[in-house]
Amino acid sequence: MTRPILLELTGALADAVRDREPGAVGAVGAAAASVAGFVIGGERPLRLDPVATALTLAVDAPGAAVAVGSDGLRDAPYNAARRLLSVDHLTGGRAGAVFRTGEGGAGRTAERIRVIRELWNSWPRESLIADRSAGVYAEAGGIRRIAHEGEHYRVAGALNSPSSLQGEPVSIWRVETAEEIALSDGLVDVVAVGAGALAAELVGAWEALDERTRPALAHADAGTIALRRAASTAELREQASGPAASASGTLRERLGVARRTLDLSDRPLAFGAAR
């Protein structure tokens, strides 16, 4: 069975996509037929605005799916949740987020991911009514304040944007330690393990997790998703060569990741009386 490909655009190629250089635009458009999605801004430090570059890619390669880097150094959770969800809306549910551990370590990053996921679910799209004749836009009873008070963050919510067509954008954690692997269990959809001396150890730590709750694994050689990188148009053509991928559906569908949401029915109402 052919594994879906997540292709990370790096270095000069990422710059060329941002600058809409014709050669890069054409190469990305051609590669979109063979990969499940592109990763923008997975590097550290971030060399460009990943949200702006992702939207440029989505315009120049219609139908492409994209996962956007979020390293916690620039955006507070609320702003990050809103920006990442905006990419998802503008691509019709073909978006995800790639998280990297930032200041405060893995525990802070895990809490940040949780807060962002809660915000993504705080305004269920099912509450949208949009009945012009009745003058009703949404059923306010479905919108919840996340009322998060944790060790590192205090966030009230709700987010001022309805939830995704795919339930939530795909959440990916770019891991480098066994601690991150342990914290990812049940938290994110995918863990991405890069190449290097620790890769085998991290894959082993992932395999030790419960199959019922562990995220999918993105790795060059192991797991259910092939994780590749390209820094030039030549590398892009090489890495994207192979059987055609699914060119339709949400990013979750393309990666084979189940739809999911968080139940926030026990949280306070965003409007009206508190529960």
Provide the pairing of β-strand 95-100 with 170-175.
parallel
Give the integer Cα–Cα distance in Å for 109 and 235: 32
Give the integer Cα–Cα distance in Å for 235 and 229: 8
Query: Residues 7, 239: contact at Cβ < 8 Å?
Result: yes
List of residues 6+ apart from 73 with CB closer than 8 A:
45, 46, 102, 103
Give the integer Cα–Cα distance in Å for 75 and 109: 12
Provide the pairing of β-strand 170-175 with 154-155.
unpaired
List of residues 6+ apart from 229 with CB closer than 8 A:
7, 8, 10, 235, 239
Q: Write down the pTM of the prediction.
A: 0.91
Sequential pLDDT tens for the chain (275 residues): 588 999 999 989 998 998 999 999 999 999 988 899 999 986 655 566 889 899 999 999 989 999 999 887 768 899 999 999 999 999 999 999 999 998 789 999 999 999 999 999 999 988 666 656 665 556 666 899 999 999 999 999 899 889 999 999 999 999 999 999 999 999 999 999 987 667 888 999 999 999 999 999 999 888 899 999 999 999 998 887 666 555 579 999 999 999 999 999 899 998 764 44
Say what the pLDDT of residue 275 is: 42
How distant, in Å, are the alpha carbons of 10, 40, 137, 248 from that of 17? 10, 10, 38, 22
Residue spans of beta strands (DSSP E) within 89-201 = 95-100, 128-131, 136-138, 148-149, 154-155, 170-175, 190-193
Phi first, then psi: give them for residue 225, nearest 5 degrees. -125, 130
Q: Report the CATH superfamily, name and number, of domain 5-102+170-255.
A: Luciferase-like domain (3.20.20.30)
Write down the domain spans for the chain: 5-102+170-255
Whole-angstrom distance between the N-terminal and C-terminal Cα of the chain? 49
Say what the pLDDT of residue 272 is: 61
Q: In the numeric block, which tokens belong to residue 32?
A: 């979109």
